[in-house]
Amino acid sequence: MHDQVKIPSDSVMLDGELTVPQGAEGIVLFAHGRGTNRRSPHTRFVAAVIRGSGLGTLLFDLLTREEAAKDADAGTTHLRFEIEPLAKRLLDAIRWLASRDDTGRMGRGCFGVGMDAAAALSAAAEIRHTIDAVVSHAGRPDLAGDVLSRVLAPTLLIVGSLDPIVHRLNAHALAQLQCEKKLVVVEGASHLFEEPGKLNEVAELTADWFLQHLRPK
């Protein structure tokens, strides 16, 4: 199944793509709110690997087109730094999935890059038994702040060895997490994981983590 979908969140509709392989028992939400969108080649590559493992994906944008256009303006970049509103929209997307006949009983995971990882973890802290696993890729989980200690979902943090600042911030966030957790440092990878084979390594680590933890409801 592959559908272009509209996800309601308060007064807006969020654009997304829902793809579910036959027999899938879990689904991974890819949320974008910080200047990227669901059409990012990196996102689509990781999503394809996850679907190849037998899990479904929901790729969607946390900002509307109008909001994203404002966010691209140097004078209004504050939009992308607001973690709580992004987490609220992610929660709405999770509830939307849970309400559907075809996806309602699937295990649910969240994948976040950069600041979107903080939104994913904030959402996981809010609905503690509804999100089954989280993966942060080159993320800023530290921006989730004090809520990290309330996250129950098993959490995988992935950083590159050539990205020391983000590595340090992730190590600090790892110490605050009280759930099942793991920090993986991909050797020879920079912040954007552009080196040959490194993004594939991220995709395989991500798929393995979700396969371990996503179970039907």
Question: What share of the chain in percent tops pLDDT 90?
Answer: 77
Burial 175-191 (b: 16+ CB within 10 A, else e): ebbebebebeebeebee
Counted domains in the chain: 1
**pLDDT tens digit string along 5-14?**
999 999 999 9
**pLDDT tens digit string along 114-171?**
889 999 999 999 987 889 999 999 999 999 999 999 999 999 999 999 999 999 999 9
With beta carbons less than 8 A apart as the criterion, state whether 96 and 123 touch: no
Residue 207: predicted pLDDT: 98
Dig out the tokens for 95 from the structure.
């509830």
Residue 53: predicted pLDDT: 97
Which CATH number covers residue 175?
A: 3.40.50.1820
Across the range 170-185, mean pLDDT stands at 98
Q: Which amino acid, one-letter code, is at 190?
A: S
Does the pTM surpass 0.95? The reply is no
Dig out the tokens for 137 from the structure.
């890729």
**pLDDT tens digit string along 68-116?**
777 666 444 444 457 888 899 999 999 999 999 999 999 999 999 988 9
Cα distance between residue 101 and residue 142, in whole Å: 35
With beta carbons less than 8 A apart as the criterion, state whether 102 and 27 touch: no
Q: Which residues contact 120 (CB under 8 A, 6 or more apart)?
A: 29, 31, 87, 90, 110, 111, 112, 131, 134, 136
Spell out the alpha helix ranges (H) of the chain. 41-52, 65-71, 83-99, 116-126, 164-176, 198-213
**pLDDT tens digit string along 39-52?**
788 899 999 999 99
Quote the domain boundaries for residue 168. Answer: 2-213
Residue 34: predicted pLDDT: 59
Cα distance between residue 56 and residue 28, in whole Å: 6
